Amino acid sequence: MRLAAIDIGSNAARLLIVEIGHDKATNKPLFNKLNLVRVPLRLGFDVFENGEISKEKRGMVLQTMKAYSHLINAYQVKHVIACATSAMRDAANSADIIRKVKLETGIEIEVISGDLEASIIYENHVAENMDTNNSYLYIDVGGGSTELTFFADGKLVFKKSFNIGTIRLLKDMVDDDKWNEVKEFVKSKTKGYKKLIAIGTGGNINKVFSLSKKKDGKPLNLELLKDYYKEISSFSLEDRINIYKLRGDRADVIVPALQIYINVMRWAEAEDIYVPKIGLADGLIQHLYYELEEKRLQAARN
């Protein structure tokens, strides 16, 4: 069985196509990636400043969804889930765009809440495979929002979305009150738990992990993130592109992303952050798979 997930974020849109296998030893599904495509739509630059998606970007969204539709058909995928996050949540004309995409491609886009976004990212269940002597804070940083999910003592403690994202920071749209809200929330909600480890998701932390040359499965230290923040932010945008071999749409957002990860880790008193290279699209695949499994089991019972 093949599944596809589309994640339309504030900075980029991603298509993930996965083939589902089966691990006979554990009796669990295996999620094998067949293709991952990313298009830097950068919708947040329109929405957070003007409140809607421009005509040019509307055209880009439609062309991207058409291309994704062709790929989905080429891979003979039967089940697709498509979600949009912060920028589409805030855009006054998102309903018109969703209707146009559905009409011309058949792809049905659901605009999801920040809390649901946090839940879906958590569906990757990374923390469940880690040491239960620790507690774990998922930090997912996007262009428009940051989702925090806290896992301790074998259960989900909280999930919360904040309108602090890389594009909002670049546009100088995050005031001290918003930062203080996150600070007080994180400090109060994580206090008194076992040693806290962070789990970082999102394209920017993935890129920092690649730059670090760390082996997969090894964490990044908070002090290392601070060093990268100081170093990368000291260069101009052009120099960042050349020195670190970054795309233009990564070079500008990586600095505010590091600022968010560093602040949340400091407030949660987390010294290390693991980077499993998963994101919303991976969570959407799992969400879709288990939804289909539930329907299959229900049909079998009937």
CB atoms within 10 A of CB 122: 24
Counted domains in the chain? 2
Q: Domain check: are 285 and 249 in the same one?
A: no
Residues 257-282 pLDDT 10s: 999 999 999 999 999 999 988 888 99
Cα distances from 186 to residues 62, 105, 153, 191, 235, in angstroms, run: 38, 41, 17, 8, 31
Band of pLDDT at residue 119, cut at 50, 70 and 90: confident
Residues 173-227 pLDDT 10s: 999 999 999 999 999 999 999 889 999 999 999 999 999 999 988 999 999 999 9
pLDDT for res 16: 98
pLDDT for res 20: 95
pLDDT for res 150: 93
pLDDT for res 129: 61
Let me know the angle formed at the C-alpha of 134 by 153 and 281, rounded to the nearest 5 degrees. 85
Q: Domain check: are 181 and 89 in the same one?
A: no
Residue 119 lies in a domain: no
Q: Domain check: are 247 and 139 in the same one?
A: yes
Q: Domain check: are 255 and 292 in the same one?
A: no
pLDDT for res 123: 65
Task: For residue 83, list its beta bridge partners.
Answer: 7, 110
Picking from 266, 256, 269, 281, the residue whose alpha carbon sits closest to that of residue 16 is: 281
Report pTM. 0.89
- Is residue 127 over pLDDT 60? no
pLDDT for res 120: 85
**Domain interval for residue 17:** 2-114+281-301
pLDDT for res 28: 86
pLDDT for res 49: 92
CATH of the domain at 289: 3.30.420.40
Q: Domain check: are 270 and 294 in the same one?
A: no
The H-assigned helical ranges of the chain are 44-50, 55-74, 86-90, 94-105, 114-122, 166-170, 176-190, 203-212, 222-233, 237-244, 248-251, 254-268, 280-301
The CA distance from 176 to 7, in Å, is: 30
Inter-residue contact 228 to 258 (CB < 8 Å): yes
Q: Domain check: are 209 and 288 in the same one?
A: no
Residues 41-68 pLDDT 10s: 999 999 999 999 999 999 999 999 999 9
Cα distances from 159 to residues 6, 146, 163, in angstroms, run: 22, 11, 14
The secondary structure of 160-189 as a DSSP string is EEES--HHHHHTT---HHHHHHHHHHHHHH
Q: Domain check: are 93 and 235 in the same one?
A: no
pLDDT for res 124: 60
- Is residue 99 over pLDDT 70? yes
